Amino acid sequence: MVNATEPPYISALPKVELHVHLETSLRLRRLLQRCDPDLPLCGQPHNVADPSLFTGYDRLRRLRYAERANRLPDAAYTRANIAAITAELIAEASDQSVRHVEVRAGGQRAFSILGVRGMLDAMAEGAGEARRLGLSYGTVVTVIRERGPEEAGRIIAEAVAASGCAVVGVDLAGDEENYPAGLFSAPIARARDAGLGITVHAGEFAGPAGVWAAVYQLGATRIGHGIRAVEDPVLLDRLRERGVALEICPTSNVRLGLVSTMSAHPVGKFLNQGVPVTINSDDPVLLGTTLTGELASVARAHCLGPEILANLQVTAARAAFLPAAGRKSLEQAVVSQTCRGERR
């Protein structure tokens, strides 16, 4: 019998990742330091409070600030470098048997230096690595709540116009408690009307109301994290009935103090209720994780067998921001490759 918690099984499992951020500044720093380990990075360290003293969004912001303590020079934000770190992320995905990956881009500094279209062009160039490695790929453009609906509208307009850049969706992220989803109805509607998929970070740092709003006010078909949905049984029924997939990022939720341990994570409850669930790595460089590691951790903590782990990938394939034919093809490929792996 195959042991689903053993890394070899999970490593070989064909996977789909829907929620992974490019982590532009972290990957650029790593790229520059590989090229020249003695390269001095300009700027002085920021005074950052100990992230462990905070929880939720406050902890996330301080973790990110701490990792960016030495500011990268503007000159690091080149098209070639962005293409290189995109290709690197895709290569890492391929090494984990990922068959489809959707990468989120929304860094204010990169958009400011390169322009939204310039950033998307650079990522599209790097995404050529996906074709070489046999993956399908899409970019999800993230807009941040704290920067307001006007900036969101501008970024989304440029994303909609960026034909040929493999933009497949828009993500609303940031401070969900103080910047409710309804503020962004108009810009998100523009993305939706243009045929882009809609995903919203909700039910992560605030309660179930944000998930309701994401689905009914913004038309989200996927929810980033969504773990607080577990508090509302009626909401769970709606998510199941509408096929709204949760992009669960277990290590992120534990590291940010949103759940106490992996065993206490509500992912098992979601699965038992029939809510569509996908597993993702979120910020793998920041959190020191991988998609394979996320699946292994969840499998151990919640006693998930091979069939359930395989079904998680099918769910992710069905939730991908691809045309219907592309989703079906991806689902068939995941099922076929899983079956071949089980016969070995």
pLDDT (0 to 100) of residue 338: 83
HSE value, Cβ hemisphere, 13 Å, CA-based, for 36:
6
Does any domain span residue 2? no
pLDDT (0 to 100) of residue 8: 82
The number of folded domains in the chain is 1
Does any domain span residue 1? no
pLDDT (0 to 100) of residue 44: 38
Does any domain span residue 48? yes
pLDDT tens digits for range 6-15: 568 899 999 9
Looking only at the bridges linking them, the beta strands covering 245-248 and 222-225 are: parallel
Task: Mark whether 204 is an active-site residue.
Answer: yes
pLDDT (0 to 100) of residue 69: 43
Closest Cα partner for 277 from 325, 319, 326? 319
pLDDT (0 to 100) of residue 61: 57
Containing 262, the helix (H) or strand (E) segment is none
pLDDT (0 to 100) of residue 25: 86
Does any domain span residue 221? yes
Which phi-psi region, left, alpha or beta, contains residue 164 (left: φ > 0; alpha: ψ -120 to 50)? Answer: left
Does any domain span residue 218? yes
Burial of 234 (0-12, 13-18, 19+ CB in 10 A): exposed
Residue 304: which domain range? 7-343
* 102, 129, 176, 204: the active-site residue: 204
Q: What is the mean pLDDT of each run of 10 residues along the chain (344 residues)?
A: 63 97 92 76 44 58 52 90 97 97 93 97 96 96 97 98 96 94 98 98 95 98 98 98 98 92 98 98 94 97 95 98 97 87 54
Looking only at the bridges linking them, the beta strands covering 136-144 and 197-202 are: unpaired
Does any domain span residue 283? yes
CATH code for position 54: 3.20.20.140
Does any domain span residue 278? yes
Does any domain span residue 241? yes
pLDDT tens digits for range 145-177: 999 999 999 999 999 999 899 999 999 999 999
